[in-house]
Structure 1
Amino acid sequence: MSRGFVLLVDDEENVRESAREWLVLSGFDVVTAPNAEAALAGFNARGCDALITDVRMPGMGGLALLAEARRRDAALPVILLTGHGDVPLAVEAMRGGAHDFLEKPYDADHLVAVLDRAVSQRRLNSEVERLRDAVGASASIETRFIGDSGPARALRAQVAQLASLDVDVLIHGETGTGKEVVARALHDFGKRSGSPFVALNCAAIPESVFESEVFGHDRGAFTGAAQKRVGRIEHANGGTVFLDEVESMPLGLQAKLLRVIQEREVEPLGSNRHVPVDVRFVAATKADLRAESDAGRFRADLYFRLATVIVTIPPLRQRRQDVALLFRHFCIEAANRHGVDPREPDAGLLTALEDTDWPGNVRELRAAAERFALGLTLDPGSAVAGQANQPSLAERVATYEARLIAQMLAETGGNTQEASRLLGVPLRTLNEKIQRHGLRPSRS
């Protein structure tokens, strides 16, 4: 692949030809012109990645060429070649939109480095413009899972293939990698797209209401059940059920879910009816479910039933070349959302972003882009370190829950039955939470 298409303008033939030869050997496609007028006569903005021009030339000078080129294509990177006395002029030109300037005689390797940055910016701008047109649209998988790296392309190809196959899927990925994005793409680009997509966060639904919420109930099934309720799975009939954080589901409920997945029917609470359902199950987890099932914390039969096909989402640190593109895309989204002018990240910031590990993955990068778009100072290293040290909402809720349970156990002298009554949760649920948080009820 070419490193970029370059238009080189210089009235000195020796300088022009030696630069052309070096750039061609370095992998660029180069077209030369002896003056600005000839360059403009054959100027094709769409096919050009960068323009290099001498400042002082007979007829139209380099600064006038810069102005005309940017009038035709404001995003075209223009690099000025200057003599020593032209440096102040070149600096002023950069304020007017020039990408960079090189003082003659320039180092050939430095010219290549400057061109690489310019071409990279040009291609990123082109891609961002394409994405800008696609923001809010769902016409292609590329608009859902953005990236040009090998892992990103492989994931898109896998999702495109699986979307048309009516099989259950298990999505595995770290926090913030985009598991629900992939789940929705599987639904939206498949034959079930016209039916409901129902997302269930298995960690957020209390065990005491899980069956009623998910499987439904008949009137009078329990105190307060004044009327029949259609469960979430039945509501998704014809569509997709997304089981997020499936590793958080208690073992007892796992057995009931397994039966639904195997039989493709639900039995509402308080009913002997078996309601057939036509749904596709897509589960997501950040845990190693195979290891969890081997350790007895997740039912092995449910794991094997869910894992008909496994989609693994790569963390952001394994596709660093996508970071700059994602960041700029999120900046545009945030600017549009907040009604502010888009800010352009410089090359130094983009390099620093690419060098960051992003433990929160795409979600964390999106948050950083939001801060940048709003004009806040962004230091990738310290920002990530600060965020990494900040507990997530789930961690804060878990800490509060553990503190509350420990306090109630202390007040009841370790009587878990009394504590469960005061907290309003089933005894089994309380015992599971005590075990999960590593608490030890000690009787006074």
Structure 2
Amino acid sequence: MALERVLVVDDEESIRWVLSKALTRQGLKVDLADCGANARKLLEENDYDLALIDIKMPDVSGLDLLDELHENFPRLSVIMMTAESSMKNAVEAMKRGAYDYITKPFDLDALDGIILKAQKIANTQAEVLRLKSAIKNQNQSERSIIGNSKPMQEVYKLLGKVSASDITVLITGESGTGKELIARAVHFNSKRVGQPFVALNCAAIPHELLESELFGFEKGAFTGATERKIGKFEQANGGTIFLDEIGDMPLELQAKLLRVIQEKEITRTGGNQAIDIDVRIVAATNQDLEKCVEKKIFREDLYYRLNVLPISLPPLRERAEDIPLLVDFFIRKSNDEFGSVVSSCSEKAMEQLVRYPWPGNIRELENTIQRACLLSQGQVLRASDFPQQSTDIPAQEENDSLESLIETKLRTSLAKKDIVEINDLYEMVLHQMERPLIRIILDKTRGNQVRAAEILGINRNTLRKKIQTLGIIPEKGGE
């Protein structure tokens, strides 16, 4: 209900009593003030949806108080009351921005009609605000999902398929790959846009509290339950609930979640009444749920209920060509949020960032760029701004060292065209040496990708993918 709390300001006790009874009968919470000073105090302490104010009060004119409310609480609807039904008062009240104007003694039925009208307008305004918020969140969500790589293109295709229906979605991927962003994209591209999106990290809530977080509880359900609490499922009714780190949910609660999915109803802790819910479930995990099922720590039936259409997010190291786009996005984001003045990243620094394996994925990259932007002394980020992402040896030394190793292996083999002895060379080097390794082998084979793939001991299509991913421009040579 958009209209919930009402302030009544009148110096006549009988008027305050009558209005309090009438408004409470409509399910509204009512606060009373006998003068302007007390009204101001209540306005500082509480949020109101509607105020009924007498024009004549001992310490302040109701019209002057209306001006204050209009300036300080522009969304608050105000109904003016007066015992003098003059045209001047009515015109002046409406001219100053009053929602309506009633004269004393007033008919309670007429007052009920005015309140009902205010209720409908408040509901409409709340719906408009919710839709505006949904559109804003949708735009922010879409702008935050960055990437043109082939793995991300596959993710976008799956997003298009799942968003058109109410199918349950399971998002998998390492920590920091952006699973919540994808969950929000699922919601904001579905028919539930404009309805609530409620997220809960199952790993962040102690097991003994997780049930009440999900389903709520009744007053007196346990020690400390001094009032009823609405759980996440009820908060998300009509919309989407995102259950992050679902693999950390205890087994006994998994059984209750399975029942919620099947029956489409929940029961608050300490309650005995089933509550119907209409909620789409999007779950996410960084664990291998199939292995969890094998270990008997995750229910098989729940796994199949959740895994109707899975979306697997690639780690950042498998979509390195997206790193320059992400770096640019995070630089602009840091400038907007923290007032940094960084314009770009140097070529050497970017190459360093692309080479780094990013075990913390996009979250680690964002934190790294944010820190560099705040600490950098110039407008261009340098390689020195990323000490933790540097390799153990400088790039040229890295190339020289690797080339020396390769020369030893290839000295006779390339001349004899005998590659049997070195067909596992790819497995002999560390991940961060992958880029210079491929560059050197392509140089040695004069751009012959077939020969290079054989020497590296990898599939030719794999080599092509890595050339594209790592941004390597090979010399033109025989295929």
TM-score under structure 1 length normalisation:
0.54
- Rounded to whole Å, the distance in 2 between the matches of 1:206 and 1:189 is 32
1:383 to 382, 388, 397: 388
> Retained in 2: the 8 A contact 1:331–1:372?
no
For residues 285 and 365 of structure 1, the distance between their equivalents in structure 2, rounded to whole angstroms, comes to: 20
Look up the equivalent residue of 2:323 and give its one-letter code.
Answer: V
Give deviations 1:144-181, integer Å, cap 9, x for gaps: 31111111122122212211211110000001000000
Q: Equivalent residues in 2 for 1:314-325 (5 A)?
A: 314-325=314-325
| Aligned equivalent of 2:167 | 167
CA-based RMSD of the aligned residues comes to: 2.0
2:326 maps to 326
Residue matched to 2:196: 196
Separation (CA, whole Å) in 1 of partners of 2:304 and 2:137? 35
CA distance, structure 2, for counterparts of residue 222 and residue 194 of structure 1: 35
1:42-86 alpha-carbon deviations (Å, 9 max, x no partner): xxxxxxxxxxxxxxxxxxxxxxxxxxxxxxxxxxxxxxxxxxxxx
CA distance in structure 2 between the aligned counterparts of 1:336 and 1:293, rounded to whole angstroms: 45
Shift of 1:367: 1.1
SS of 1:243 mapped into structure 2: strand
- CA deviations 1:111-137 (Å, max 9, x no partner) are xxxxxxxxxxxxxxxxxxxxxxxxx77
What CA distance in whole angstroms lies between the structure 1 residues aligned with 2:390 and 2:261?
Answer: 42
Q: What SS class does the counterpart of residue 217 from structure 1 fall into?
A: coil
Kept after mapping to 1: 8 A contact 2:170/2:282:
yes
| Alpha-carbon distance in structure 1 between the residues aligned to 2:205 and 2:341 | 40
**Cα shift readout 1:275-294 (whole Å, capped 9, x = no counterpart):** 11000111100000011111
Q: Matches of 1:287 and 1:379 in 2, distance apart?
A: 35
Letter in 2 for 1:383: Q
In the alignment, what sits opposite 1:350?
A: 350
* Secondary structure of the structure 2 residue equivalent to 1:204: coil
Corresponding residue for residue 238 of structure 2? 238
1:230 Cα deviation after fit: 1.6
Deviation at 1:140, TM superposition (A): 8.3
Aligned partners of 1:248 and 1:170: how far apart in 2?
Answer: 14
C-alpha contact 2:203 2:249 (8 A) present in aligned 1: yes
Q: Give the stretch that moved more between structures: 159-168 or 276-285.
A: 159-168
SS at match of 2:296: coil
Q: For residues 3-18 of structure 1, what are the structure 2 equivalents within 5 Å?
A: none
Name 1:155's counterpart in structure 2.
155
Residue identity matched to 1:299: R
Provide the aligned length of Structure 1 versus Structure 2. 251
Per mean C-alpha deviation after superposition, the further-off stretch among 363-372 and 277-286 is 363-372
1:356–1:381 CA contact under 8 A, matched in 2: no
The residue type paired with residue 161 of structure 2 is Q
- How much has 1:238 moved relative to structure 2? 0.4
Relative distance call for 1:233 and 1:331 in structure 2 (3 A) is: same
Q: Distance in 1 between matches of 2:160 and 2:385?
A: 33
Asked if structure 2 preserves the Cα contact closer than 8 Å seen for 1:335 and 1:374, the reply is no
Indicate conservation of the 8 Å contact 2:349/2:386, yes or no.
no
> What CA deviation, in whole Å up to 9, does each residue of 1:405-431 have, x standing for no partner?
xxxxxxxxxxxxxxxxxxxxxxxxxxx
Residues 181-225 of structure 1 show CA distances to partners (whole Å, capped at 9, x for unaligned) of 000111111111111111111111122222222111222222222
Q: What is the CA distance between 1:378 and its match in structure 2?
A: 5.2
1:339 aligns with 2:344: no
1:325-381 Cα offsets, whole Å, 9 max, x none, are 111110111012111222321111111111111011111111111122124475587
Q: Tell me which amino acid in the other structure corresponds to 1:327.
A: V
Task: Quote the residue 1:146 is aligned against.
Answer: 146
- Counterparts in 2 of 1:248-263, with a 5 A limit? 248-263=248-263
What is residue 304 of structure 1 aligned with on the other side? Answer: 304
Which residue of the partner structure matches residue 120 of structure 1?
none
Contact 1:141 1:156 in 2 (8 A): no
Residues 171 and 310 in structure 2, CA contact (< 8 A), matched pair in contact too: yes
- Report the identity percentage: 43
CA distance in 2, matches of 1:257, 1:297: 15
The answer for the alignment partner of 2:37 in structure 1 is none
2:126 is aligned to none
Unaligned ranges ≥5, structure 2: 1-135, 377-381, 392-479
Report whether the alignment pairs 1:216 with 2:221.
no
Q: SS where residue 311 of structure 2 aligns?
A: strand
Confirm or deny: 8 A CA contact 1:148 1:322 kept in the other structure. Answer: yes
Name the CA distance, whole Å, in 2 between partners of 1:364 and 1:380.
15
Q: 1:205 to 1:141 in 2, by over 3 A?
A: closer
Q: Give the distance between the partners of 1:292 and 1:298, measured in 2 at CA.
A: 5
Q: For residues 257-283 of structure 1, what are the alpha-carbon distances to aligned partners after superposition, in whole Å with 9 as ceiling and x for unaligned?
A: 111111111011122211110001111
Q: Distance in 1 between matches of 2:276 and 2:213?
A: 17
**Distance (Å, rounded) in 2 between the aligned partners of 1:379 and 1:287:** 35
How far residue 138 of structure 1 moved from its aligned partner, in angstroms, is 3.7
* 2:92 aligned residue: none
- How far apart, in 1, do the equivalents of 2:350 and 2:343 lie? 13
CA distance in structure 2 between the partners assigned to 1:172 and 1:333 by the alignment: 26
Q: CA deviation at 1:141?
A: 6.8
In the alignment, residue 358 of structure 1 is paired with which amino acid?
A: W
SS in 1 for 2:203: coil
Counterpart contact for 1:203–1:248, Cα < 8 Å: yes
Query: Any unmatched runs of 5+ in structure 1?
Result: 1-135, 387-444
Q: Secondary structure at the match of 2:353?
A: helix
Task: Tell me how far apart the structure 2 counterparts of residues 382 and 146 of structure 1 sit (CA, whole Å).
Answer: 25
In structure 2, what is the equivalent of residue 270 of structure 1? 270
Structure 2 SS opposite 1:199:
strand
Q: Secondary structure at the match of 2:162?
A: helix
- How far, CA to CA, are the matches of 2:203 and 2:336 in structure 1? 33
How far apart are the structure 2 equivalents of 1:378 and 1:297? 45
CA contact (8 A) 1:353 1:380 kept: no
